[in-house]
A and B are shown apart, each in its own frame.
Chain A
């Protein structure tokens, strides 16, 4: 009986996560809070939206990467309106990205929020920021490929090994 219960828990764990998934509201202070939270750790910040075909192409690669490296720090920020929250959660569940640090733009002026992330960003999506252990940031516009994610993973792993 206990074994069956355990099996059910494993099978439906993703559903449990899906049901309880809540998006944090991204405001003008969120990026600095994130940097604080991930201090001494590398993380990948990806900004996306529901109406961005290239973002979904990237999600396929991200999903594979996150499955392979579940401990990697991935932050996903949706620029959609808060009323689209359920659709955003649906996509995150579908791609198995519900274990990432997930956010949605607050109702503040979108231009203000964009500016709080990067004053040099033209607004194209997806937009990614690789933030290393020293908090140096490398930006990229367009869908990330599996190859780029592997390179990033190699860098993280190398730094981790060196610091141990």
Chain B
């Protein structure tokens, strides 16, 4: 279905696995460059005009994409006060009529770092988002599920359980292989309490809740850590059969806004560990959260941004879950335009995507590693736009990996990064 004529003989994923030294990576770089050129000239999926306010994945805000087990593409997005879910059986050529998740309109956070989330497990569709409530930097974390294949959604639940009209924002959701749903978010309850006591308090906190009955009910809120940065997305990934790992921008002693990481289980989190040492001492809002992906080798791929004394720009690192430290730190792009990176390992290739700005255009760039993040290809531009654009998201089904990217001029694009011709019809 996705094979690009004339290239499949160059891009068998099995062949790539044998290309594991620098010289061979260079050859692969050349091939990837060819592939990029092909994608640049591949006609994009037609983009419906948004002038009539039609509800669609192209016109809505911050569409988040994910594949289910069968390869169906699911999208959650926000538009006109509602979160909608739509799906596509033909890789985004056609989408189903969007289904409203929250029946009553809400102000929904859609600034890129804050966006509706969607996960599919056991034929259920799980959606979380943050509602903007009255007040400044305030919000509630909501969840709803569909147990009939996305035909309708159950009544909306509020996950934060403190009942306070304060900040609960930047939700992040993952589902473990055992089916446990983890939702983590940034929470102001501890800073609010400190303020009530007239005490100084750096940043806010990070909390989570879990569901072990496929989203029917959720646990009480559990604190992960205090003193987090207030305005960056949280990265979350499932770990092992039943746990999850979160990475976030933390405020370490001295006001350093570097990253922390912790593993969550059904009862409590592990102690936090420092994932990055960038020495970024600032009292600014980066609006620039990290990305993580679990590897099969007891380590976690990290992607992050810093403007610290030690590191400036977009970085890759490999966090060892046994040593509790990050190794193999690679500067992916040090230019000030590099932003909103994501890292995913797929079929033994580590993919790294981010946004940049070149020659008056926003561009998507990709680098990849064939040896678990030790060596990296050169950067390739694989898409561009003249107008505003959302953050890029790396998603994959069983056989292929794509970037999901919505841009004002082109709508939602699904850009293939890798075509496994042997496993594609």
B residues with a Cβ closer than 8 A to A are 111, 136-137, 230-231, 282-288, 305, 307, 312, 336-337, 339, 355, 357, 360-362, 385-389
Contacts and interface: CB of A to CB of B under 8 A. Distances in A.
Interface of A: 49, 51-57, 107-112, 114-115, 119-127, 141-143
A122 B307 contact: yes
B284 A51 contact: no
Contact of B231 (A51, A108, A122): A51
Most buried by A among B337, B385, B386: B337
B286 A124 contact: yes
A122 B361 CA distance: 16
Given A51-B231, A52-B231, A109-B387, A142 B136 contact: no
A141 B288 CA distance: 15
A124 B232 CA distance: 11
A56 B136 contact: yes
B336 A141 contact: no
Contacts of B337: 111, 115
Contacts of B355: 111
A85 to B, nearest CB: 16
Contacts of B283: 54, 57, 142-143
Contact of A125 (B137, B287, B387): B287
Contacts of A109: 361-362, 385-389
Contacts of B339: 122-123
Contacts of B231: 51-53
9 contacts: A51-B111, A51-B231, A52-B231, A109-B385, A109-B386, A114-B357, A120-B336, A122-B307, A124-B282
Contacts of B136: 56
A143 B361 CA distance: 30
A143 B388 CA distance: 27
A110 B388 contact: yes
Contacts of A120: 336
A141 B287 CA distance: 13
Given A53-B137, A53-B231, A143-B283, A123 B288 contact: yes
A142 B285 CA distance: 7
Contact of B230 (A53, A112, A141): A53
B347 to A, nearest CB: 32
Contacts of B385: 109
Contact of B282 (A56, A110, A123, A141): A141
A161 B339 CA distance: 44
Contacts of A53: 137, 230-231, 285
